[in-house]
Structure 1
Amino acid sequence: MTRVPALLAMESVRLVGDLFAADSRARLDSLVALHDTVLTPDAHAVPASTADTEILITGWGAPRLDGPMLDHWPNLRVVVHAAGSVKRQVTPDVWERGIRISSAAAANAVPVAEYTLATILLSARDALRSAHVFDRDQDMIAARPTGDVGAFGITVGVIGASRIGRRVLDLLRPFDIRCLVYDPSLSAVDAAGLGAELVTLPALLTRSRVVTIHAPALPETYRMIGRAELALMADGATLINTARGALVDTDALVDELRTDRLRAVLDVTDPEPLPPGHPLFSLTGATLTPHIAGSIGNELQRLGRHVVDEVERFVTTGELADEVTSPDLARIA
């Protein structure tokens, strides 16, 4: 089989190594003829020697694919992205030239869902707030959770039946937990198939001990969790956000957390990053992580393996398992 000319475009050569373990790189090299250069953001120009590129393998830090950039690769047929969202990368010029796009969003959903499951179980025990209090006061008795804590029989509300939302619901199946889901595109039958009850957003917020957000950032979802929505949540309930910071009204959340009525676990914020000294850093009920729910460390190799699988599928059959089309772009994260 003649190997297809291909080019890597991402933030660094090191990221290439992190994505492709030895076995994945060997498979990739057997399928495509990779150009020696890696197109990184600090490149002064796109080498003319890459003009024959038919497959572009991108990752974080890849260039925006507008007309002038695409002009460098007149034979480009497909872009295989080694990360989740392609919104910052893809332009209408891609579709106009008939170039196909594949994303590793499904592979990147795995660690986000695992992070969410872990924080749901910890939040059910009020363990995160207790840890903050214990660290601050160093009083074991005073820091212990009180009241109706624990995961047995609680209700968890999932906002958004996205890839990640669906995987979270699947991970929750073995537990003694009731699941609610809110997604305007979902039917009650489909929700039941996911192991959840389809409800309105107000009902989900009112009934759930833990609420986790997995909706895309769209004009209609901007600050979908605002002051009125937070007021519906029960005392002691937890809001988890691994989606996009703009889905939550930060000021309204800060006001609720100041009363110690709610808890929040935030892997994303608005703004992001938060400025030094922001109230969220010091509020006892807030647990902040620095945007780590997605693939990091050895999890990057899952993305690399997904890319190689997709490249192999494309060069052998012309098909893509995780293709992103122009209509998809309007409703994905």
Structure 2
Amino acid sequence: MPERPQAAFAMTAQNVPHVFPPEVLTRLREYVEIDPTLVVHDFTDPRVRETLARTEVLVTGWGCPVLDAAALDAAPRLRAVLHAAGSVKGFTTPEVWRRGIVVSSAAAANALPVAEYTLAMILLAGKNVFAFRDQLRTRRAFPYGDIVPGIGNFHRRVGIVGASRIGRRLIELLRPYDLSAALADPYVDEAEADRLGVPLLPLDELLRTSDILTVHAPETPETRHLLGARELALMPTGAVLINTARGSLLDHDALIQELRTGRLTAVLDVTDPEPLPADSPLFDLPGAFLTPHLAGSQGNEVTRLGLTVAEEAGRLLAGDALLHAVDHTALDRAA
């Protein structure tokens, strides 16, 4: 076996034992030399200068400092960054790509719990669970035994905005259900939509025809307020909007106006700003169901991110192509 490269953690120190519990850390250390007690949080710190000078692989995660020219100068042997989280846009710079450093991301692993959360919310929303929960709580009564009209998950249209990793995973998860999925994405053509097994629609048509709309587009300057007052007005009365992407994709003022009328309901795991100010109407509007950015990897799910990095480290040591290498040319339209 080739000699294991020297590696270092660069992330929030308190996350290391969660993302890399003992069994995952042992797996990682089969492929790299790494000290879990030394976690870099500042590339200019003199105490890590010697470590960085010999580091060939950075294992990064949430809280990684920015990899600018000065940081990369401090790590002249660096050849790979293995990111135990999703997007790398927050800490990579053009200098990383200019120097030919390969970057891998666990974004695909992080996409799974978001898709699972979204599926759960789709099914619950189809039953109008949130409104009936509140009704039962306040009235302490319900017409048990009666057929409740206007609810159910049989042949409902689920509109998916964005064929991201999460959007694609959600399409797969929806297949066993009697739901009808459709997609809007300007970067997907008819042939690719056919491969995904969903009809491709213009966004306006998707909005008009979806009982439940779920947002999985990236945050870019072009997608800011992708769903504003005009777009929300196109949604049918009684429709549900789910956002697990980024809060900026949704015009919250316009959404609040719709929620106040009772015409739409919304499930929001992300908001703009995040966290919301304490006086935001979204906390109290009956049509809004808020969760605090829980859809992504949490609890024992973050172990999956560590396993993804360990597997990538194994490929790196074997000289194989990384399975989750980041294409920097597509970052401007990626999450």
TM-score band, normalised by shorter chain: over 0.9
More strand by share: 1
Task: Tell me if the contact between 1:125 and 1:145 (Cα under 8 Å) persists in the aligned partners.
Answer: no
In structure 2, distance between residues paired with 1:138 and 1:265 = 24
Matched AA of 1:296: Q
Over residues 182-211 of structure 1, what are the superposed CA-to-partner deviations in whole Å (9 max), with x where a residue is unaligned? 011112222122121110111111111100
Match of 2:33 in 1: 33
Identical-residue share of aligned pairs (%): 48
Deviations 1:105-153 (A, max 9, x none): 00000000000000000011111122233334444349x9943200001
Letter in 1 for 2:30: S
For 2:173, the equivalent position in structure 1 comes to 171
Distance 1:23 1:219, change over 3 A: same
Match of 2:313 in 1: 311
Number of residue pairs aligned between Structure 1 and Structure 2: 331
Gapped runs of 5+ residues in structure 1?
A: none
* Cα distance, 1:270 vs structure 2: 0.9
Distance 1:45 1:261, change over 3 A: farther
What is aligned with 1:3? 4
| SS of equivalent residue, structure 1 residue 71 | helix
The aligned residue for residue 162 of structure 2 is 160
Deviation at 1:318, TM superposition (A): 4.2
Select the residue among 219, 232, 235 that pairs with 1:217: 219
In 2: Cα distance, 1:63 partner to 1:163 partner: 25
TM-score (norm 1): 0.95
Runs (4 or more) in structure 1 with deviation over 4 Å come to 41-46
Contact preservation (8 Å) 2:237, 2:264: yes
Describe how 1:286-325 pairs up with structure 2 within 5 A: 286-325=288-327
What are the Cα deviations for residues 69-110 of structure 1, in whole angstroms up to 9, with x where unaligned? 112100000100000001111111111111111110000000
Find the aligned partners of 2:223 and 2:137 in 1 and give their Cα distance: 36
Change (3 A) 1:93 1:43: closer
Q: Is the 8 A contact 1:130 1:145 kept in 2?
A: no
Per-residue CA deviations over 1:264-321 (Å, capped at 9, x if unaligned) read 0000011111000210000001000000000000001100000000111111124211
Distance in structure 1 (CA, Å) of the matches to 2:66 and 2:281:
35
Q: 1:69-80 residue pairs with structure 2 within 5 A?
A: 69-80=71-82
d(CA) in 1 for partners of 2:278, 2:141: 28
What's the counterpart of residue 192 of structure 1? 194
Task: Specify the code of the residue in structure 1 equivalent to 2:170.
Answer: V
What pairs with 1:131-280 in structure 2 (closer than 5 Å)? 131-141=133-143, 146-280=148-282
1:188-241 deviation per Cα after TM superposition (whole angstroms, max 9, x unaligned):
222122121110111111111100000001111110101011111111110000
What secondary structure is seen at the aligned counterpart in 2 of 1:277? coil
Cα distance, 1:29 vs. partner?
1.1
What SS does structure 1 have at the residue aligned with 2:263?
A: coil
Unaligned runs of 5+ in 2: none
Please state whether the residue corresponding to 1:324 is helix, strand or coil. coil
Counterpart code for 2:34 = L
The one-letter code of the counterpart of 2:131 is: R
Partner of 1:22: 22
Give me the whole-angstrom Cα distance separating, in 2, the residues matched to 1:106 and 1:48: 32
